[in-house]
Amino acid sequence: MIYTYEMDGTMYTVNLERRADGSYQAVIGDRTYTFQAEAVNNGGWLLTYGARRELVYSAAQGDQRYVNVGGHDFTLAVTDARSHRRRQTSSGGDLKAQMPGQVVDVLATVGENVTRGQTLVVLEAMKMEIRVSAPVDGVVKRLLVAKGDVVERGQLLLEVEE
């Protein structure tokens, strides 16, 4: 997934991918970071990269992202380009995350016939389980997340074609 943020007047593009071994790779500009992410009981994440470990907390309000890393606070703004891209990909059969969280289960496959109200993706956010259901009867056209992925509010999860 590609995310674009602005912080202190500078634009940052983050390409985040989950690797087959369960680790994550983030490419920010010309730097690449590989790390493990483990959810902790108080809603944060323990990130391990190399010999370093950092406790990270985040929250979202509108297009603002608030991040605390090792006791240091950062405010990121979601850029207009990203919001525009989200609007362009939106349609009646799109399923988007309603809040940031982690994908606990994916209950659909590409090409599968689904019915309106059928649970297709299960997310965990703020210690709650959120069932994301098909908005229409149709066929799963694209699946954009996998079990274990971390998603942001408004992120496209899958597309259902009527």
pTM: 0.48
pLDDT of residue 87: 39
Percent above pLDDT 70 for the chain: 92
For residue 144, name the pLDDT band (cuts at 50, 70, 90). very high
**In the predicted structure, residue 80 carries a pLDDT above the cut 80:** no
pLDDT of residue 107: 94
| Structural domain span for residue 125 | 90-161
pLDDT of residue 66: 85
Written as one letter, the residue type at 157 is L
Of 85, 82, 83, 106, the closest CA to residue 157 belongs to: 106
Averaged pLDDT of the chain: 84
Strands 94-96 and 156-161: antiparallel
Given 58, 81, 104, the domain boundary residue is 81
The answer to whether residues 16 and 63 belong to one domain is yes
The answer to whether residues 108 and 69 belong to one domain is no
- Ranges 17-31, 71-85, 102-116: which has the least confidence: 71-85
The answer to whether residues 139 and 119 belong to one domain is yes
The answer to whether residues 126 and 96 belong to one domain is yes
Q: Mean pLDDT across the stretch 115-139?
A: 84
Q: Mean pLDDT across the stretch 85-99?
A: 61
Give the Cα separation of 154 and 95 in Å (integer): 9
pLDDT digits (tens, 9 = 90+) for 27-76: 998 899 999 999 887 778 999 999 999 999 888 777 888 888 888 888 89
